């Protein structure tokens, strides 16, 4: 092999948050990864600002959560305002109540800082290599793999041969184009100007609002985000037909900011013009080439789920690639990746468009009706608030793909994550379970389930749960998992590596669930069907 050619198990094109977390997850599984990024350094300003507890749980899976918790800030409160500086028309809370997944429900972050942590995580793995400043010129594939042709800054060509290529290279994805994959649109296309600032004190500014708000003023819709440390962001809808040059003119932006912060109190870091889109790829996979993150979908930012969806893609894809590369599953599970992630993303895009339309209407007559139905009445009647929350819901279960059908009220849902006691001490449940699929069962039924799993030949660990810890049994003193199983009226739950419930049931249905799980991993070959 020449010096200009390299090989790996997985080539990742794009080293933003989606590509970087995918590389970390595959590195933990021990696979060789080459991550290709056209930029030589991390972009200096934030493009995303929020992630939720489900995403922090994925960072935990990658071994990065504790470090990120030190540089990100949890939050709960947000508000909808009808005029700048006014009282909230509707106060709300963001994220899961009671930390069911082991972490605070919502977090602010500074994207350059987060990306530095993700990239530093890659240094743990001798099997992961990053190529910065390389541009993809072509991607072609055959039955055994795919070849990515890249150019460095001097124009020298390098060839990367991989068993799979993952395009995490953003909305203008070269990988998507090379794979012949196209986008569909929901015809949502609104121009906004994003203004990132930093307080001149270098710390939190006590005179600025501590909480996130959406200003639903038809004259000028605005989103305000207090990020970590001294960083803040305002997003202004472009109004009155202004051109990009007019909307991003620094003098115009400073006039907009004066309503919210006195001159000389903050330093403007970036003024950016965006079209908030709602797009998704019709197909996320062509053979050995797959898409993830913005290459596969783009959404309005009103639910703060753009980056979150990309990180979910990475988690959903990483364990599937691990199984396929290890020969423990066939490529059917990669089709399941597209099926379940596309359906999930479509729901979130619909919720983001709904909330965006609530926030950014310019018609005062429509705004008056909105203020009554979406804000005033829900503030008075909690059931109406629940309807509003459901319409803008971002927490959706998996509805199709790699899930069973025996326990529809559990299958596709994330399982809770309490702190548990093990022989190694007290820790979060996921850390005790390990990186692969597992069956959780009440301790009194542990022996029966272990026997059935051993006879099945499936690569599944079986973990007993009780309020007290002992050999082979995790101690859940608060009885969170036991209560969860009892409430669902099941004896066991088969959990995927991403902590989504594959299926669950009573002991009498265990063999049925195991058979379905095995069949979903390894589809029958034509000669097996004929036999």
Domains, in order of start, for the chain? 5-74+103-182+282-330 (3.50.50.60), 185-277 (3.30.9.10), 419-526 (3.40.30.120)
Measured CA distances, 168 to 23, 31, 100, 295, 527 (Å)? 11, 18, 30, 6, 37
Classify residue 529 as exposed, middle or buried by CB count within 10 Å of its CB (0-12, 13-18, 19+).
Answer: exposed
Measured CA distances, 492 to 87, 427, 453, 454, 482 (Å)? 49, 22, 12, 16, 10
**pLDDT given for residue 390 in this prediction:** 59
Residue 314: name the closest of 287, 295, 288 by CA: 295
pLDDT per residue rounded down to tens, the chain (531 residues): 345 789 999 999 999 999 999 999 999 999 999 999 999 999 888 889 999 999 999 999 999 999 999 999 999 888 899 999 889 988 887 766 778 999 999 999 999 999 999 999 999 999 999 999 999 999 999 999 999 999 998 899 999 999 999 999 999 999 999 999 999 998 888 899 999 999 999 999 999 998 999 999 999 999 999 999 999 999 999 998 999 999 999 999 999 999 999 988 999 999 999 988 889 999 999 999 999 999 999 998 888 889 999 999 999 999 999 999 999 999 999 999 999 999 999 988 888 888 888 888 888 898 898 888 888 888 887 777 666 665 555 577 898 999 999 999 999 999 999 999 999 999 999 999 999 999 999 999 999 999 999 999 999 999 999 999 998 899 999 999 999 999 999 999 999 999 999 999 999 999 999 999 999 998 754 433 333
Q: What is the pTM of this model?
A: 0.93
**pLDDT given for residue 492 in this prediction:** 97
Instruction: Count Cα atoms within 13 angstroms, Cβ side, for 400.
Output: 12
Q: Would you give the distance in Å from CA 320 to the centre of its chain?
A: 16
**pLDDT given for residue 356 in this prediction:** 83
Give CA–CA dist 219/202, Å, rounded.
32
With b for 16 or more beta-carbon neighbours within 10 A and e for fewer, the 184-218 pattern comes to: eebebebbbbbbbbbbeeeebbeeeeeebbbbbbb
**pLDDT given for residue 381 in this prediction:** 78
What residues does 214 pair with on adjacent strands?
Answer: 80, 223
**pLDDT given for residue 197 in this prediction:** 95
CB atoms near residue 419 (< 10 Å): 16
Helix 332-360 × helix 306-325 angle, to 10°: 180
Give CA–CA dist 248/251, Å, rounded.
9
Phi, psi angles (nearest 5°) of residue 19: -65, -40
Contacts of 81 (CB under 8 A, 6+ apart): 87, 88, 89, 213, 214, 215, 216, 217
**pLDDT given for residue 526 in this prediction:** 42
């Amino acid at each position: 092999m020449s010096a200009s050619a390299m090989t790996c198990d997985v080539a990742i094109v794009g080293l933003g948050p989606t590509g970087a977390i995918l590389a970390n997850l595959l590195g933990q599984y021990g696979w060789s990864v080459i991550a290709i990024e056209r930029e030589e350094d991390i972009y200096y300003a934030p493009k995303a600002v929020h992630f939720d507890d489900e995403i922090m749980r994925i960072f935990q899976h990658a071994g990065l959560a504790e470090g990120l918790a030190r540089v990100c800030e949890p939050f709960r409160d947000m508000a909808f305002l009808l005029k700048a500086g006014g009282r909230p028309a509707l106060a709300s809370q963001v994220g899961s109540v009671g930390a069911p997944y082991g972490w605070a429900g919502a977090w602010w972050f500074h994207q350059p800082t987060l990306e530095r942590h993700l990239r530093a995580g890659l240094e743990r793995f001798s099997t992961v290599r990053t190529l910065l400043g390389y541009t993809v010129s072509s991607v072609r594939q055959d039955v055994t793999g795919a070849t990515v042709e890249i150019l460095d800054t001097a124009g020298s060509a390098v060839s990367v041969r991989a068993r799979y290529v993952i395009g995490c290279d953003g909305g203008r994805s070269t990988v998507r184009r090379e794979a012949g994959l196209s986008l569909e649109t929901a015809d949502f296309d609104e121009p906004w100007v994003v203004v990132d600032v930093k307080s001149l004190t270098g710390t939190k500014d006590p005179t600025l609002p501590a909480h996130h708000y959406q200003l639903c003023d038809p004259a000028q819709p605005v989103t305000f985000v207090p990020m970590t440390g001294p960083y803040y962001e305002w997003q202004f809808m472009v109004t009155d037909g202004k051109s990009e040059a007019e909307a991003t003119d620094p003098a115009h932006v400073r006039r907009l900011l004066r309503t919210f912060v006195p001159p000389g109190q903050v330093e403007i870091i970036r003024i950016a013009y965006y079209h908030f889109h709602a797009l998704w790829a019709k197909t996320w996979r062509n053979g050995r080439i797959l898409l993830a993150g913005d290459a596969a979908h783009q959404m309005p930012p009103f639910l703060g789920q753009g980056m979150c969806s990309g990180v979910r893609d990475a988690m959903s894809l990483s364990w599937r690639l691990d199984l396929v590369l290890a020969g423990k599953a066939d490529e059917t599970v990669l089709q399941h990746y597209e099926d379940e992630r596309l359906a999930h993303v479509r729901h979130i895009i619909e919720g983001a468009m709904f909330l965006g339309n609530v926030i950014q209407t310019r018609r005062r007559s429509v705004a008056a009706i909105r203020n009554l139905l979406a804000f005033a009445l829900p503030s008075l009647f909690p059931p109406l608030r629940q309807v509003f929350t459901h319409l803008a819901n971002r927490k959706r279960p998996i509805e199709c793909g790699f899930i069973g059908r025996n326990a529809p009220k559990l299958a596709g849902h994330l399982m809770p994550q309490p702190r548990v006691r093990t022989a190694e001490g007290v820790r979060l449940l996921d850390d005790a379970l390990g990186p692969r699929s597992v069956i959780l069962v009440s301790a009194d039924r542990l022996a029966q389930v272990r026997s059935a799993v051993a006879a099945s030949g499936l690569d599944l660990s079986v973990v007993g749960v009780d309020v007290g810890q002992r050999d082979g049994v995790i101690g859940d003193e608060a009885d969170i998992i036991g209560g969860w199983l009892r409430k669902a009226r099941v004896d066991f739950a088969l959990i995927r590596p991403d902590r989504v419930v594959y299926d669950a049931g009573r002991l009498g249905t265990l063999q049925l669930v195991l058979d379905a799980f095995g069949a979903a991993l390894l589809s029958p070959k034509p000669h097996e069907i004929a036999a």
